[in-house]
Amino acid sequence: MTQKYRSIHNLTHFDGMESLTSAECPQNHNKNLMKGAPSGLLLKTNMSNPLTDLLNERDYLLADGATGTNMMAMGLPAGQAADLWNLHSPEKVTDLHKAFLKAGADIILTNTFSSNQFRLSLDHAEHLTTDINAAAARLARSASQSAGHPVIVAGSMGPTGELMEPHGTLSHDSAVKAFTEQANALAEGGVDVLWIETIFAFDELLAAVTAAASTGLPVASTMTFDTAGRTMMGKTPEQASEFMRSSLPPLIAYGANCGAGPSTLVDTISRFSRCAAEDDIIIAKGNCGIPQSIDGKIVYSGDDETMWRYARLARDCGARIIGGCCGTTPARLKTIATALHGYTPGESPDIKTIEASLGPIQKSKKRSKRPNARTST
* Domain locations in the chain as residue ranges: 24-358
pLDDT in tens, 63-118: 999 999 999 999 999 888 999 999 999 999 999 999 999 999 999 999 999 999 99
Q: Report the pLDDT value the prediction gives residue 43, as an integer from 0 to 100.
A: 46
* Residues in Cβ contact with 10 at an 8 Å cutoff, skipping those fewer than 6 apart: none
Selected from 3.40.640.10, 3.40.190.10, 3.30.70.520, 3.20.20.330, the CATH number assigned to the domain covering 24-358 reads 3.20.20.330
Residue 4, pLDDT above cutoff 70:
no
- Please give the pLDDT value at position 263: 96
**Percent of the chain clearing pLDDT 70 (strictly above):** 84
For residue 276, what is the DSSP state? S
**Phi, psi for residue 230 in degrees, rounded to 5:** -125, 170
3-state DSSP assignment of residue 164:
strand
Count Cβ atoms below 10 Å from residue 276 Cβ, excluding itself.
Answer: 24
Cβ 218 vs Cβ 193: under 8 Å: yes
Q: How far apart are CA 78 and CA 93, in angstroms?
A: 17
Distance CA 286, CA 309 (A): 12
pLDDT of residue 22: 41
Confidence check: pLDDT of 376 > 70: no
CA-wise closest residue to 120 among 131, 105, 135, 106: 131
- CA gap 287, 297 in Å, rounded: 17
Q: Is the pLDDT of residue 6 over 50?
A: no
Each residue of 296-311: pLDDT tens digit? Answer: 778 898 999 999 999 9
30 pLDDT more than 80: no
**Residue 178 to residues 117, 125, 127: CA-CA distances in angstroms?**
6, 14, 12
Q: Are 45 and 281 in contact (CB under 8 A)?
A: yes
Q: Can you tell me the mean pLDDT for 159-185?
A: 97
Task: Look at residues 158, 146, 182, 151 and name the one whose alpha carbon lies nearest to residue 64.
Answer: 151
Q: Band of the pLDDT at 364, cuts 50, 70, 90?
A: low
Higher pLDDT, 13 or 284: 284
166 upstream amide cis, omega within 30 of 0: yes
Distant-in-sequence, close-in-space partners of 372: CB < 8 Å, separation ≥ 6: 347, 348, 350
Residue 85: count of CB within 10 angstroms of its CB: 24
pLDDT digits (tens, 9 = 90+) for 181-240: 999 999 999 999 999 999 999 999 999 999 999 999 999 999 999 888 899 999 999 999
Of the pLDDT bands very low, low, confident and very high (cuts 50, 70, 90), residue 26 is low
- To the nearest 5 percent, what fractions of the chain are helix, strand and coil? 40, 15, 45
DSSP category for residue 290: -
How does DSSP assign 200-262, residue by residue? --HHHHHHHHHHHHTTTS-EEEEE---BTTB-TTS--HHHHHHHHHHSSS--SEEEEEESS-H
